[in-house]
Amino acid sequence: EEAEISGPPRFKIHVEGTDNLGEVEIVKNNEMVYGQTPGAKTADFEYRDNETPGEEASFFYVRVRQTDRDRQVAWSSPIWVTGR
């Protein structure tokens, strides 16, 4: 997805795993900017970036690692954000 916004981006995150979630991370431009360790099969939270986007797009995605034996990993599709 792409979004053109006038202020700092805000995201509502909902994650459901098949086992307990060990790490849920927000990644911006390939750098982890927020993380938590829910220790449950679901996680719900909001994340607000501190920067108002400019003309050059930034991308955000969610990366999840479970606590199961294989430490399964999943991630969302990226969201490309530019400023108005």
Tell if the pTM clears 0.95, that is, is over it.
no
Provide the pLDDT for residue 1. Answer: 87
Provide the pLDDT for residue 54. Answer: 87
Report yes or no: 8 and 50 within 8 Å, Cβ to Cβ. yes
Rounded to an integer, what distance in angstroms lies between the CA atom of residue 83 and that of residue 3? 8
17: Cα separation from own chain's centroid: 15
Rounded to an integer, what distance in angstroms lies between the CA atom of residue 37 and that of residue 16? 13
Provide the pLDDT for residue 26. Answer: 98
Kindly report, residue by residue over 6-65, the tens digit of the pLDDT.
999 999 999 999 999 999 999 999 999 999 999 999 999 999 999 989 889 999 999 999
